[in-house]
Amino acid sequence: MLQQLRAAAKTWVASLFIGALAISFAIWGTNDIFRGTTRNTVASVGDIEIGIAEFDREFRNDVRRRARQLGVDLTTEQARQLGFGNVVLDRMISRAALDQKAGELGLTASDATVATEIRAIPSFAGPFGGFDRITMQRALYDAGLTEETFVESMRSDLIRTQLLDAMSDGLETPPGLARTLFEYLNELRTVEYVAVAPEAAGSVPEPTDSELEAFRAQNPAAYSTPEYRQLSYVEIGPAAFSEGTTISDETLEAEYEARKAAYEQPEFREMQQLLFPSKEAAEDAHRRIQAGADFPTIATEMGRTEDDLKLGNLRKEDMHPKLVDAAFAIVEGGVTAPLEGPFGWVILRTVKVTPSVSKSFDEVRDALKKELVDEQAAESVIDLANAFEDARAGGATLSEAAERLGLTARRVAAVDEAGNTPEGVKAGVPEAAMFLEQAFAAETGEEGDIFETPDHRYYALKVEGVTPPAIKPLDAVRAALRDAWLKTERTKRLDARVKELAEQANAEHGLAGIARVLGGAPQTSEPLSRNAESDVFSSQLLARLFAETPGTVVSDPAASGEGYVIARVTKLERPDKSVVPPNYAQNGVLIARQIQSDIVASLAAAARSDVGVEIYPTVLSRALGETP
């Protein structure tokens, strides 16, 4: 359809029709025509609107971040199914509401403060360890951000942090609450238990064909072929332009001079700071450090986290004049004497020193040449992609446009959503997950618009045909069906048997009777904590044992294997109130952090309620690529 529209738009009839529409829009306006159908706002938060483009950028960045953290190839479709889209939108709404509250209070962040924070971001460090503007620009490009947008986002983050810190900084856990929670978390329970082996389910007869067919009908996805799609596509990438590109020495030298600041890095120091209420307190801490006390330990005793200590990766010009000389005089790992800073008495610690660096033209020549070649190739790719779209706008098909521009239109006979052929081998399609997402979202026979993948390649594709999923014949999956059916049936029977034994044990107020039935005797565990790891007690069973009244019989699958465990608590122990354990203070710090988190969440909820929030589900579904 898109191709037909492109071709039709070139006819004289279309020109007259479009001209008439333009005149009618000029006379009557467009508001009523498009109201309610072309909204591009996912949510309104007071005076702030969250647009589709902004939401899509944050959603995709969030997916990439989660994929790196989990070490998996997470597609946007999987992220949608897991509900990450709603999580991202909720975060954006809270952020927008808090921003408005901070604005009402007149909170600001200076340009110098914003610049210092940006320079301290580790991912913006260049080849010599310090902040590098080119590295930052590349990172922002990969994230879909302009420099101006990012700077304002950082400013908002800093202003918002002022508001949140004012509400939660310095908060301590009330002693009574700290003790109660400590006792709860460190409670121990001794458990009497009986292990129930899978054999307790008894023998399971072989399934009949009708039972296998019924089981297959209940689980069609597991016993069906996937959907396959026949594709044709065109790839426009930088590799073809990089080969044979030459850069003259004169150009390289001129570019070196233009970028010289990037090759001459000043000394950077990653600094930590402890702020004290008085000079005496700072001197006392300094004496302890000189006597061998650990800097982070003193910070923990003061209720400070590692994040509280961070000053950032700083140059001399980034530091306050009162502190700079002492800070840059100490060795890596060293600490200063107490210093009077702009906000009180401090002790500074140098975590890491990155020496100053100056690279000559000869040292960077090869790397600079590759960089310029890549930049030229990227520009050529964009130009060619535009020319390709212009050709199709003129009525050319995907294949015709490719041939006209010297590109290759590739064909794929059959590929599933995992990128495999019916034979189970890789289909030879591009590796970018976005390519298959587009292929399986496109309508059959339509040529979609060109799209860019994260590796800066452009693709246009057409779905030539679709082979829908089909349930496999019984004989083709008989062995797998039989094994799955037997396992499911055995689990059902074992579950029923365990429930029967647990009811008997509850009635008898003990496990001795059911242990005799199973041909054994009850076993007694060591005192267990809430997070005890064991091959016997699963986390789910432990949670039930700590939730039920002692003496109550509970059952659950064992932590390993296919058996079950029937258990009951026989003894409960709580920490002695007269003893203050070594980890008690740290426990109070952790609880205080959780309370701070709850305060922040409450503040965000109040701000949302105050400014007003409206979410547009249809637009959100469109932004996520879902059917509304």
Q: Which of 180-189, 274-283, 409-418 has the lowest mean pLDDT?
A: 180-189
User: Which runs of consecutive H residues, i.e. helices, occur in 259-347?
Assistant: 260-263, 279-290, 295-301, 306-309, 321-327
Structural element, H or E, at residue 598: helix 584-611
How much is the pLDDT for 81? Answer: 82
How far apart, in whole angstroms, are the C-alpha atoms of residue 322 and residue 339? Answer: 8
Q: Is the pLDDT of residue 535 over 80?
A: yes
Buried b (16+ CB within 10 A) or exposed e, 364-373: bbeebbeeeb
pLDDT band at 238 (very low <50, low <70, confident <90, very high): confident
Structure token pair of residue 264: 């001459």
Inter-residue contact 415 to 231 (CB < 8 Å):
yes
In the numeric block, the tokens 């001129």 are attached to 254
CA torsion through residues 566, 570, 571, 572, sign: positive
Q: What are phi and psi of 505, to 5 degrees?
A: -65, -40
Structural element, H or E, at residue 14: helix 12-28
Q: Is the pLDDT of residue 555 over 90?
A: yes
How much is the pLDDT for 243? Answer: 57
CA-nearest of 574, 584, 502 to 544 is: 502
Beta bridge mates, 209: none
How much is the pLDDT for 412? Answer: 93
CB-based contacts of 68: which residues, under 8 Å, 6+ apart?
Answer: none
**Could you tell me the pTM of the whole model?**
0.48
Over the Cα atoms of the chain, what is R_g? 33
DSSP 420: B
CA distances from 521 to 27, 189, 296, 552 (A): 91, 20, 51, 18
DSSP 339: E
State the amino acid at position 184 in one-letter form: Y
How far apart, in whole angstroms, are the C-alpha atoms of residue 486 and residue 198? Answer: 12
pLDDT band at 174 (very low <50, low <70, confident <90, very high): confident
Q: What are phi and psi of 276, to 5 degrees?
A: -115, 155
Cα pseudo-dihedral 129, 135, 140, 146, rounded to 10? 120
CA-nearest of 6, 313, 40, 265 to 133 is: 265
Cα pseudo-dihedral 441, 443, 449, 450, rounded to 10? 50
pLDDT digits (tens, 9 = 90+) for 242-296: 555 677 778 888 877 777 777 777 888 888 888 888 999 999 999 998 988 888 8
How far apart, in whole angstroms, are the C-alpha atoms of residue 517 and residue 508? Answer: 13
pLDDT band at 303 (very low <50, low <70, confident <90, very high): confident
State the amino acid at position 12 in one-letter form: W
CA-nearest of 121, 92, 108 to 160 is: 108
Higher pLDDT, 133 or 99: 99
How far apart, in whole angstroms, are the C-alpha atoms of residue 612 and residue 48? Answer: 10
CA-nearest of 240, 201, 101, 225 to 159 is: 101
CA-nearest of 303, 301, 283, 280 to 291 is: 283
